[in-house]
Amino acid sequence: MANERLRSALLQRGLTPQTAAESLGVDAKTVERWISRERIPYPKHRYALAALLQEPEGYLWPQPEPQRQYADVEAIFPTRAEFIQKMPPREILKSAETVDMMGLSLNLFCQQHSDSDTLRLLASGTIFRCLFLEPRGVHIRSREREEGHDADVLTKLTEINIASSQRLRTRIPADSPGAILIRTYDEPARFNITVIDKRTCIIQPYLHRARGVESPTLIARRSEQPGLFETFSQVFESMWATGKELGAK
């Protein structure tokens, strides 16, 4: 549904999406989406555009808050097992151009996505950024105790997955446009985060005294409104920036 109030206000002021966008410092296509798709701008852009058009924000965007709340959450699954059943890794990654992952052992990629599918994506130019919990660090040992595992259970699983990813890198042709980048971090494991093509974010918390497979999964899609996608993609970027690089083995 189009925002006819916004369209009419622009016309009355002799403005086009292009001229309004220049005044606000945004792309003209963004302003067009605000009009034709009734997308709600960020608060700072709502304020600036309302001032430019000399119209109250409440007139141009009636009751914006309920529409903005949780606007980017597309699906919620009670467990990771149900998420995998409904959204298999092969399907969610099949046309990905970038895949950013952080968590403990990254089983979604290392155990549930085949090497042949990964190599096919690498040949097409996909960039994988894998951020593992440091397998010999203090926080993986804390997680082992919290989940009730014997010592080194999660350590060994993570080392296996890291080694698998490193071996897979040796199979990438020299002229391949894709890459697998690997880093580790040693901080409390709070969330497993996967960001696909800077548009879709899979968020899985680590629950107290529960295995990862038992935790819920949220799917957030990037939107023009602040939401979970923006929050958790920034968490990944922050953690990646301070991670320890692992080279070829």
Q: What is the dihedral of CA 235, 205, 190, 122, to 10 degrees?
A: -50
Same domain, 83 and 46: no
Residue in this structure with the two tokens 């690997």, named with its chain if needed? 182
Question: Which pLDDT band, with edges at 50, 70 and 90, does 43 fall under?
Answer: confident
Q: Name the 3-class secondary structure at 196.
A: strand
Question: How distant is the alpha carbon of residue 159 from its chain centre?
Answer: 24
Q: Name the 3-class secondary structure at 214.
A: helix
Same domain, 125 and 235: yes
Of 102, 89, 112, 71, whose CA–CA distance to 206 is shortest? Answer: 102
Same domain, 215 and 118: yes
Domain containing residue 35: 4-63
Residue 69 vs residue 5, higher pLDDT:
5
Do residues 232 and 193 lie in contact, with contact meaning Cβ atoms separated by under 8 Å? yes
Same domain, 58 and 79: no
Can you give the pLDDT at residue 48?
Answer: 86
Q: What pTM did the predictor assign? A: 0.71
Q: How many structural domains does the chain have?
A: 2
Can you give the pLDDT at residue 65?
Answer: 47
Structure confidence by residue, pLDDT tens digits, 161-204:
999 999 999 999 989 999 999 999 999 999 999 999 999 999 99
Average model confidence (pLDDT) across the chain: 90
Same domain, 189 and 130: yes
- Residue 205 belongs to a domain: yes
Same domain, 36 and 138: no
| CA distances from residue 131 to 27, 68, 70 in whole angstroms, order as listed | 33, 31, 27
Same domain, 115 and 208: yes
* Domain finish residue from 15, 38, 63: 63
Amino acid residing at 180:
I
Same domain, 161 and 222: yes
Same domain, 213 and 181: yes
Same domain, 56 and 134: no
Structure confidence by residue, pLDDT tens digits, 113-149:
999 999 999 999 999 999 999 999 999 999 999 988 8
Same domain, 45 and 94: no
Apex 27 CA angle, 26 and 28, nearest 5 = 120
Which CATH number do you get for residue 23?
1.10.260.40
